[in-house]
A and B are shown apart, each in its own frame.
Chain A
C-alpha cells in the first residue's frame, strides 16, 4: 500500500473557482480509479491560489486482475462474423472457447487482464484528469497555443508533482512533465522545493511559506481577523464569504487592521461595508455600541518586513479613495429630492412591452393606493402609500445605486430620511423589495406592506399579461421570487386578498382570466412552499377550489390545506379518508352519481352554489323529493340510521364552518362521521337484494361523499 500525491501548479486560480476545482479533482480521480477497479480509501484535496493538491491514502501497488468474457457468434456462423468478433475482442480464433447457450454451441472470448502496476495506471490517469477537467472558464497560452488543440486550463498550468510512495509517477501533458519539484511562496521563498512523498508535502510547503490546506488558511483568517479587531477594542463583523475568498487569494494569510478617517462614517454604514467588502475584500468592525467603526481588516499574503505598516497604509489610501467616491455620491444624490430623481425613471425601460420604470411606478402607486384604500392592507394611510410607491424606485437613478446596485431600496430610504419625508414613507421605500430571500424579514408596517405587495403584484400581473411566465430553470424576471414574496407578505400580515379584485383594481376592469392565471401560479408556489413545511402537495390540490373555481384567496387555500394536513394526521382523519375512499370506490363501481352527482358530474362544482339558478333549483328539488321518497320505503338498519343521523348534523355543521372559513371546525364536523361510516361498512350490506335498499344506501354514501367534498376535494388526496 502506498500514498499518492498529485499537485497541479498553475498561475493564480480565481478564488471563486477553487472549491469547485477541488470537487472536480476528487471526482475525476475517483472516476479513473473506479474504472480500473482500484478502491480508494481516504482522499484529501487542498487548494491555494497557485495549486490544487490531492492525496489518496493506501493505494495498492498492483491493481486486481480482472477476467472478462465476451459472448460471440454461435458455432457454425459465417467466417466473416467470427473474424469480426475476434477483431473486436482482440483475440485469436484459436483462443476462443465454446460453451452451451440454451442448447446451442457458442463461441466465447475469455480475456484475463492481469493486474497492473498502480504507478502505470496513474501515469495514464493524470493526463486524462487534466484533459477532462472542467473549469467555469478556461484558456490557452504560450507557444503551443498556435493550435487551438492545445491544452486548456484555468490559467497557465506550470507544473505537476506526482508521487506514489517515494517514486515519481512519470507522465507528460502538453509539454508539462511530472516530477517531485514544486515552488513555495511567490515572494517568501525562492528556488525549488523537492517533495519526498505525500507525508512531507504539507510540511515542506509550510517551510516554503505556503499553507496548502485551505481550511487551515480560513481558520487563520477567521481567528486572526477577530484577534486584530479585539486588540483594537473592536468586534469583527463576521463574513464567511470573505473568509473563503481571502483564503483563496493567499498562500500565507496575514490579517492586518487599519483605520480610515472618522469623517467617512457620515455616509450610510452599509455603503462603507459594501465598498470595503466588494471592491477591496476587507472585513469591517463595530464598536462597543454596535456602531460601525472606522476600521478595516485586509488580508495580506506576506509577512512584511515592517510588520505590515506600509501594506496597511497603502490599503488605507485605496479605501479612502473609494470612500471619497461613496461620499461624493452621497452628497451629489442629496442635492436633488427623490421626486426629482424619479423623473429620470422616464428614461429607463422596464420591459420593451411594458413601458418605462416610471410607468411601472404609476401602476404600483395606483395599486398600493387601492390596497390601503380598500383596507386590504389595513391601517395604511392612503397618501403615504401613494407617495412611498411613487418614490420607491427613484434611487435607481442615483449615483450611489448606479455604483452599488445591491443598495437599491436601502439608499432610497436614506435619501427619504435625509429630505425629511415621513418615517413611514422612508421605511416603505427602504423595505419594499422585502422579503427577498427565504430568511429575509417580512414587512409588517402597513405602508410598507401596501407598496411591497403592489410592487410584486405588478411584476406578476404585468408579465403574465404579456404571457411571460417562468419556464423550467429560466425565470429572468424573478417572478417565482415575487410570488413567494407575495405569499409571505399575505401570511405574515394575515391578509385576505381576492386576486379577482386585485386584478380588477390593477387593470381598472375585471380581468378574470388574468386573475386565474395569477391564482394558478401562486397556488403552485404555495404548494412548493408548504411542501417544504411538510404539508403535502395533494392537500393543497384538494383545497384549491372554492365554489367551483380556482380559489382567488390564497390565504383560504392555505388555511384549508393546513387544517386538512392536521386532520389527516389524526386517527379520525386517516380513518375517515379510508371510509371516503371505500365509499367513492363503491359509487364508482356502481356508476352511482347520486342526487348531487347528476348535477355535479365533474366533482368540481358545488351544487349549492347553483341553487340561485331557478332552473337548477327545480332539478335539485326534484332530486331531493326523489331521495326523500326512497328514505321512507323501509326501516333502516341501526348502523344505517346512525349514519343518516350523523350526516344530518355533520353536513350542515361542516357547511356552516366552511362558510365561516373555520376549517378546523369543518374538519371536526367531518370527524364525527368517522365512527358512523366505519360502523356502516361493518354492519350494512350496500348491495342489498332489494333494489330500494340498495338505491337508498348508495344514495347515503353519495351524500356522505358530498358532505366530505364540501370540506375539501378528497378525491385529489393520494395514497
Chain B
C-alpha cells in the first residue's frame, strides 16, 4: 500500500522512519517511561556522551501535565508525540538531510517559507545546553534543531545534532487541519480525537484534580532514594530511569499546584542532582572503555 503522509498521521511517521532508516539511523521504539520530552530518552541523553558514533530516530510520547486542557483546546495536549533524530557526530549535511525529510512528508520549500530562526536550548535539569534554531514553516515552529554542546555537565565530544519534530503540529499543517483532534490518523477516517480525546479528558482531570498528592510526594522520595541506591551499585542506566521518574512526578505535583514557589527551586535542584549524578556515573563507568577505543578522546 502506498504511503500518504499528507493525509495520514501514521503514514507521516512511517515516511520519517523510512527516510531516516535509509540515512543510516537505527529506528528505535519509544522509551517505556513517562517523560517530558524526547530528549530524556537514553538514546539521546546518555548516547550524547562519549566518542562513539550514534545515529538513531524514534517517536517519543511526551507528558506535560500542566499543558492538559481537558480536550478543549485545539492545540494543547498533556500527551503528544515528538519525533527525535540524533546524529552523532553531527554530519556536515545535516541541514540538507533535514530539509529533505520535510519534502518526504510533503512540504515543498518553494511553496512554503522555511526559516532557521535562532533558538538555543538549555536544560538545567540535565546539565545540558546547545545552540541551534527553531525551524519555521510559514511562521510556525515545526522542529527544534540543536547542536548539543554539553550533557550532564560534560562537553559533548563529539557534538551530536538533535532534531525534534512536533508531530501533531506538523501533521495539522500538512493536513490543513485547525484542530488536533480532527487529524486523520490512518488516512481512512479514524481521527486523532477518536484515539486520544477521551484520554486527554480523563488525564487532564487526573493530573489537575485527582492524583493523590501524598502518594506523589511519596513516589518522588522513593524515586530519589532508588536513584541513589542504583548509583551506589554502579548501575547508572537504572539510576537515570529513576531520575526521569522523579522528574515526571515533580511535573505532576506542579500540575496539582501543591509545590510553592519557594519549594519549586528545591525540587528542581533535587531532580537535577539525580540526572547529573546518573550522567556522571555513566561517564565514569564508560570512560575507560571509550578512551581505549578512541585514543584521541578524553573525558
Q: Residues of A at under 8 Å CB distance from B?
A: 11-12, 14-16, 49, 137-148, 154-156, 158, 186-188, 249-250, 280, 282, 298, 300-302, 304-306, 310-311, 313-315, 317-319, 321, 347-349
Known: A137-B131, A142-B159, A310-B138. A301 touches B113 (CB 8 A): yes
Total A-B residue pairs with C-beta atoms closer than 8 Å?
121
Interface residues of B in 141-184 (CB under 8 A from A): 147, 149, 155-159, 161, 173, 178
Establish whether residues B159 and A315, one from each chain, have CB atoms under 8 Å apart when the complex forms: no
Establish whether residues B139 and A140, one from each chain, have CB atoms under 8 Å apart when the complex forms: no
CB distance from A630 to the nearest CB of B (A): 75
Known: A146-B157, A188-B110, A304-B110. A141 touches B147 (CB 8 A): yes
Q: Which stretch of B16-24, B114-122, B269-277, B278-286 is in the interface?
A: B114-122
CB distance from B129 to the nearest CB of A (A): 10
User: Smallest CB-CB separation from B138: which chain A residue?
Assistant: A314
Judged by a CB distance under 8 angstroms, whether B106 is at the interface is: no
- What chain B residues lie within 8 Å of A137 (beta carbons)? 120, 131
Our pick among B89, B109, B147, B173 for the contact of A139 (Cβ within 8 Å) is: B147
Establish whether residues A310 and B178, one from each chain, have CB atoms under 8 Å apart when the complex forms: no
Given contacts A156-B147, A314-B140, A318-B138, 13 further A-B contacts (CB under 8 A): A12-B133, A137-B131, A139-B131, A139-B149, A141-B161, A146-B157, A148-B157, A186-B99, A249-B115, A301-B113, A301-B115, A310-B138, A321-B74
Q: How far is it, in angstroms, between the C-alpha of A298 and the C-alpha of B115 when the chains are bound?
A: 12
Our pick among B90, B139, B159 for the contact of A318 (Cβ within 8 Å) is: B139
Establish whether residues B117 and A249, one from each chain, have CB atoms under 8 Å apart when the complex forms: yes
CB distance from B264 to the nearest CB of A (A): 12
Give the interface size class of chain B.
35 or more
Known: A11-B95, A314-B138. A145 touches B157 (CB 8 A): yes
User: Smallest CB-CB separation from B99: which chain A residue?
Assistant: A186
User: Smallest CB-CB separation from A321: which chain B residue?
Assistant: B75
Establish whether residues B261 and A349, one from each chain, have CB atoms under 8 Å apart when the complex forms: yes
Known: A310-B112, A311-B138, A315-B139. A144 touches B158 (CB 8 A): yes
- What chain A residues lie within 8 Å of B173 (beta carbons)? 314
Establish whether residues B89 and A155, one from each chain, have CB atoms under 8 Å apart when the complex forms: no
What are 9 residue pairs bridging A and B, where the CB atoms are less than 8 Å apart in the complex? Answer: A15-B118, A139-B130, A146-B294, A156-B90, A301-B113, A302-B109, A314-B137, A314-B140, A347-B260
Known: A142-B158, A145-B157, A145-B158. A156 touches B113 (CB 8 A): no
- What chain B residues lie within 8 Å of A313 (beta carbons)? 138
Establish whether residues A142 and B116, one from each chain, have CB atoms under 8 Å apart when the complex forms: no
- What chain A residues lie within 8 Å of B115 (beta carbons)? 249-250, 301
- What chain A residues lie within 8 Å of B116 (beta carbons)? 11-12, 49
Establish whether residues B110 and A140, one from each chain, have CB atoms under 8 Å apart when the complex forms: no
Establish whether residues A146 and B109, one from each chain, have CB atoms under 8 Å apart when the complex forms: no
- What chain A residues lie within 8 Å of B99 (beta carbons)? 186
User: Smallest CB-CB separation from A303: which chain B residue?
Assistant: B110
- What chain B residues lie within 8 Å of A15 (beta carbons)? 117-118
Our pick among B74, B112, B117, B159 for the contact of A311 (Cβ within 8 Å) is: B112
Q: How far is it, in angstroms, between the C-alpha of A310 and the C-alpha of B255 when the chains are bound?
A: 38
Q: How far is it, in angstroms, between the C-alpha of A249 and the C-alpha of B133 when the chains are bound?
A: 12
Establish whether residues A16 and B118, one from each chain, have CB atoms under 8 Å apart when the complex forms: yes
Establish whether residues B90 and A280, one from each chain, have CB atoms under 8 Å apart when the complex forms: no
- What chain B residues lie within 8 Å of A16 (beta carbons)? 118
Judged by a CB distance under 8 angstroms, whether B233 is at the interface is: no
Establish whether residues B155 and A155, one from each chain, have CB atoms under 8 Å apart when the complex forms: no
- What chain A residues lie within 8 Å of B138 (beta carbons)? 310-311, 313-315, 318
Judged by a CB distance under 8 angstroms, whether B51 is at the interface is: yes
CB distance from A404 to the nearest CB of B (A): 18
Establish whether residues A302 and B110, one from each chain, have CB atoms under 8 Å apart when the complex forms: yes
- What chain A residues lie within 8 Å of B51 (beta carbons)? 146
Establish whether residues B155 and A148, one from each chain, have CB atoms under 8 Å apart when the complex forms: yes
- What chain A residues lie within 8 Å of B111 (beta carbons)? 304-306, 310-311
Q: Residues of B at under 8 Å CB distance from A?
A: 51, 74-75, 89-92, 95, 99, 109-118, 120, 130-133, 137-140, 147, 149, 155-159, 161, 173, 178, 260-261, 294, 296-297
Establish whether residues A146 and B261, one from each chain, have CB atoms under 8 Å apart when the complex forms: no
- What chain B residues lie within 8 Å of A146 (beta carbons)? 51, 89, 157-158, 294, 296-297
User: Smallest CB-CB separation from B132: which chain A residue?
Assistant: A155
CB distance from A304 to the nearest CB of B (A): 6
Known: A15-B118, A137-B120. A142 touches B92 (CB 8 A): yes
- What chain B residues lie within 8 Å of A156 (beta carbons)? 90, 92, 147
- What chain B residues lie within 8 Å of A139 (beta carbons)? 130-131, 147, 149, 159
| 5 tightest Cβ-Cβ pairs between the two chains A and B | A314-B138, A14-B118, A12-B116, A315-B139, A145-B158
Establish whether residues A145 and B89, one from each chain, have CB atoms under 8 Å apart when the complex forms: yes
Establish whether residues B131 and A155, one from each chain, have CB atoms under 8 Å apart when the complex forms: yes
Q: How far is it, in angstroms, between the C-alpha of A11 and the C-alpha of B139 when the chains are bound?
A: 19
- What chain B residues lie within 8 Å of A148 (beta carbons)? 155, 157
- What chain A residues lie within 8 Å of B159 (beta carbons)? 139-142, 145
CB distance from B168 to the nearest CB of A (A): 13
Q: How far is it, in angstroms, between the C-alpha of A302 and the C-alpha of B117 when the chains are bound?
A: 15
- What chain B residues lie within 8 Å of A311 (beta carbons)? 111-113, 138
Q: How far is it, in angstroms, between the C-alpha of A319 and the C-alpha of B178 when the chains are bound?
A: 12
Q: How far is it, in angstroms, between the C-alpha of A139 and the C-alpha of B91 when the chains are bound?
A: 15
- What chain A residues lie within 8 Å of B261 (beta carbons)? 347-349
CB distance from B243 to the nearest CB of A (A): 26
Q: How far is it, in angstroms, between the C-alpha of A188 and the C-alpha of B120 when the chains are bound?
A: 27
- What chain A residues lie within 8 Å of B158 (beta carbons)? 140, 142-146
CB distance from A523 to the nearest CB of B (A): 38
Our pick among B117, B133, B139 for the contact of A314 (Cβ within 8 Å) is: B139
CB distance from A241 to the nearest CB of B (A): 15
Q: How far is it, in angstroms, between the C-alpha of A304 and the C-alpha of B111 when the chains are bound?
A: 5
Our pick among B114, B139, B156, B297 for the contact of A280 (Cβ within 8 Å) is: B139
- What chain B residues lie within 8 Å of A318 (beta carbons)? 138-140
Known: A12-B133, A317-B178. A302 touches B113 (CB 8 A): yes
Q: How far is it, in angstroms, between the C-alpha of A61 and the C-alpha of B155 when the chains are bound?
A: 44
User: Smallest CB-CB separation from B261: which chain A residue?
Assistant: A347
Establish whether residues B140 and A317, one from each chain, have CB atoms under 8 Å apart when the complex forms: yes
- What chain A residues lie within 8 Å of B139 (beta carbons)? 280, 282, 298, 314-315, 318-319
CB distance from A411 to the nearest CB of B (A): 22
Q: How far is it, in angstroms, between the C-alpha of A37 and the C-alpha of B213 when the chains are bound?
A: 73
- What chain A residues lie within 8 Å of B112 (beta carbons)? 304, 310-311, 314
Q: How far is it, in angstroms, between the C-alpha of A12 and the C-alpha of B136 when the chains are bound?
A: 13
Establish whether residues A147 and B118, one from each chain, have CB atoms under 8 Å apart when the complex forms: no
Q: How far is it, in angstroms, between the C-alpha of A282 and the C-alpha of B113 when the chains are bound?
A: 14
- What chain B residues lie within 8 Å of A306 (beta carbons)? 111
CB distance from A143 to the nearest CB of B (A): 4
- What chain B residues lie within 8 Å of A12 (beta carbons)? 116-118, 133
- What chain A residues lie within 8 Å of B113 (beta carbons)? 298, 300-302, 304, 311, 314-315
User: Smallest CB-CB separation from B93: which chain A residue?
Assistant: A158
- What chain A residues lie within 8 Å of B95 (beta carbons)? 11
User: Smallest CB-CB separation from A300: which chain B residue?
Assistant: B113
- What chain A residues lie within 8 Å of B260 (beta carbons)? 347
CB distance from B150 to the nearest CB of A (A): 10
User: Smallest CB-CB separation from A248: which chain B residue?
Assistant: B118
Establish whether residues B92 and A187, one from each chain, have CB atoms under 8 Å apart when the complex forms: no
CB distance from B289 to the nearest CB of A (A): 15
User: Smallest CB-CB separation from A15: which chain B residue?
Assistant: B118
Q: How far is it, in angstroms, between the C-alpha of A218 and the C-alpha of B248 when the chains are bound?
A: 46
Q: How far is it, in angstroms, between the C-alpha of A103 and the C-alpha of B21 when the chains are bound?
A: 84
- What chain B residues lie within 8 Å of A155 (beta carbons)? 131-132, 147
Establish whether residues A142 and B75, one from each chain, have CB atoms under 8 Å apart when the complex forms: no
Q: How far is it, in angstroms, between the C-alpha of A321 and the C-alpha of B139 when the chains are bound?
A: 11
- What chain B residues lie within 8 Å of A348 (beta carbons)? 261
